[in-house]
Amino acid sequence: MNGHIDEARSNDYVEGILTEDSTREVEAHLAACEECTAQVERLRSLLADLADLPTEAAPSRDLWAGIHARMEKSDGARRISFSVGQLMAASVALAILSGGSVWMALYGGSPVDSPAAVAVSDVAGSDGTRSGNILPAMQAATTEYDQAIASLESVLERGRGLLNAETLATIQTSLDAIDQAIEEARQALESDPNNDLLNRLLIKNQQSKLRVLRQVAAAVQI
Amino acid sequence: MRDETRTLVARDTMGFALVTEIDEEVDGPLSLIDRMVRQAQAGDPDAFEGVYRAHVGRIHSLCLRMSRDPQEAEALTQDVFVRAWQKLGSFRGDSQFSTWLHRLAVNVILQDRRTRGRRQSREHVVEDLEQYAIAATPATPGMKVDLERAIARLPAGAKEVLVLRDVQGFKYREIAELTGVTLGTVKAQIHRARALVQEALER
């Protein structure tokens, strides 16, 4: 070794993260260099003192009351139910984000490739009026979509090993956002199961998920 | 199947009743903290109070050392536990709860620093460091006030990484993830921070 041990090397040595060869080199140098030995000892002592500092410090007052109050406020905010309009707006954003033609399928009547989606495209206007005759078809459609989604999810599971971590993370983020939208629609439907806007909303979110899964399935089956 | 479950009634030091039903066939024996966390995840604020009381000392110590301002540290401590309550659902038990909570605390502290950093300098130098030392170690003689003072006077970034690595025991890789900088940069910052502390102590 030429010259003294540099800062990075002495730190790594004291922390025991040098390779065996480097450790031997450093120790050979230390055996002959008082200056570096003193430097290493000072560092070792500092790390021991730092590790020995207290890691418990009670606050000067009980903070629980303030925390509890904020928890209740936070819970209240979480319990706020979304209006149908808010849910629909959120779904429009979701549809745009996922870059799809779901909105067109629902309201513009563009061709779609599943019986369920055809049923949805027949739904009356978007003014929130109920259309009792179409409701059973929409509810059947949600079941169909659930089955299709489950099938494609199994393809995704089997194909996970073919996708890199970054791609998987992107897919998961998209799916999580869509799943949340689906869950919100389902929760809203629990209290108003015959609301056709909510039923369409659920289907639209399912379609978004289906589209993402189709892309993934196509990618992993190439 | 009912025989496979048992109802545990525990009472923590603060005296609130904690009732959990545990399927021991599935979970095995759980510590009191684990049971409180599970109850809290189910939405029980009393159980979360137990979680808070079990961890507040360590979390407040971390906040105090990273901020060096008692009022700000208490505000950060509150933020950490409120965030933990909101995020409890994401704790899957892959790591110890205390590890999960410390990571969350560091995120809250760093996020707060980034937010405030855009508005004002966050480098506080608290002259009354004895106040911190007394709060930190009420029963420990020979407090290392000089060392605390040297840490407090480090630049913000250096102080963060030094505290995380050398006081809290985070791994270099974890610090790099938490702070969003490269492993090499983290190591260089820590080496520099140690050198600055040594210089301050030798003055």
pLDDT in tens, B20-78: 343 344 455 667 888 889 889 988 999 999 999 999 999 999 999 988 678 999 999 99
**DSSP conformation letters of A88-100:** HHHHHHHHHHTT-
Residues 4-43 of B with CB under 8 A from A: none
Q: Are B58 and A8 within 8 A, CB to CB?
A: no
Q: DSSP letter string over chain B? A: -GGGEEEEEEE-TT--EEEEEEEHHHH----HHHHHHHHHHTT-HHHHHHHHHHHHHHHHHHHHHHH--HHHHHHHHHHHHHHHHHHGGG--SSS-HHHHHHHHHHHHHHHHHHHHHTTS------S-HHHHHHHH-TT-SS--HHHHHHHHTS-HHHHHHHIIIIIS---HHHHHHHHTS-HHHHHHHHHHHHHHHHHHHH-
| pLDDT of res. B196 | 95
Nearest CB among B49, B64, B191 relative to A7 is that of B191
Out of A47, A50, A74, the one facing B82 most closely (by C-beta) is A74
Return the residue matching tokens 């993402």.
A212
Long-range CB pairs of A61-65 (<8 Å, 24+ gap) are A61/B74, A63/B56, A63/B60, A63/B74, A63/B77, A63/B78, A63/B81, A64/B49, A64/B52, A64/B53
Confidence at A197, pLDDT banded by 50, 70, 90: confident
* Crossing angle between the packed helical segments B183-202 and A34-51, to the nearest 10 degrees: 100
End-to-end alpha carbon distance in chain B: 69
ipTM reported for the complex surpasses 0.85: no
- List the CATH code of the domain at B1-124: 1.10.1740.10
Task: Select the highest-mean-pLDDT range: A82-86, A143-147, B93-97, B190-194.
Answer: B190-194
CA angle B132, B138, B144 (to 5 degrees): 55
Question: CB contact, 8 Å: B175 with chain A?
Answer: no
pLDDT bucket at A220, cuts 50 / 70 / 90: low
Q: Which residues in A lie closer than 8 A to residue B148 (C-beta atoms)?
A: 53
Domain extents in chain B: 1-124, 141-203
Q: In the prediction, which pLDDT does A211 show?
A: 79
Determine, for residues A42 and B56 on separate chains, whether the beta-carbon distance falls below 8 Å.
no
Confidence label for B118 from pLDDT (cuts 50, 70 and 90) = low
Average pLDDT over residues A129-141: 63
- Looking at CATH, the fold of the domain delimited by B141-203 is given as Arc Repressor Mutant, subunit A (1.10.10)
pLDDT reported for residue B117: 65
Nearest to A57 among B52, B136, B194 (CB): B136
Q: What is the pLDDT of residue B61?
A: 93
Q: Cα(B40)–Cα(B32) distance, rounded to whole angstroms?
A: 12
Instruction: Give the residue from B51, B160, B136 showing the smallest Cα distance to B98.
Output: B51
Which of A10, A12, A41, A71 to probe by mutation at the B interface, max B CB count within 10 Å?
Answer: A71
Q: Do A11 and B194 touch (CB under 8 A)?
A: yes
Residue A108 has pLDDT above 60, yes or no: no
Of B123 and A179, the structure prediction assigns the larger pLDDT to A179
Report the C-alpha gap between B151 and B66 in whole angstroms: 9
B74:A71 CB<8 A: no
Least confident of A138-152, B1-15, B93-107, B152-166: B1-15
Give the angle subtended at the CA of A13 by the CAs of A11 and A17, to the nearest 5°.
100
The CA distance from B32 to the nearest CA of chain A, in Å, is 20
- For β-strands B5-11 and B17-23, DSSP reports them as antiparallel
What is the rounded average pLDDT of the residues A104-112?
34
- What pTM, to 2 d.p., does this model score? 0.56
* B78 has a chain A CB within 8 A of its CB: yes
CB pair distance less than 8 Å for B78 and A63:
yes
Which pLDDT value is given to residue A135? 73
Q: Is A30 helix (H, G, I), strand (E, B) or coil?
A: helix
DSSP for residue A105 = I
Task: Give the Cβ contact number of residue B195 at 10 Å.
Answer: 15
- The span from the CA of B160 to the CA of B175, in Å, is 9
B136–A49 CB contact, under 8 Å: no
Q: Do A51 and B169 touch (CB under 8 A)?
A: yes
Q: Do A56 and B191 touch (CB under 8 A)?
A: no
B92 phi, psi to nearest 5 deg: -105, 0
pLDDT digits (tens, 9 = 90+) for A141-186: 777 778 778 877 877 777 777 777 777 777 787 788 888 888 888 8
B3/chain A closest Cα distance in angstroms = 34
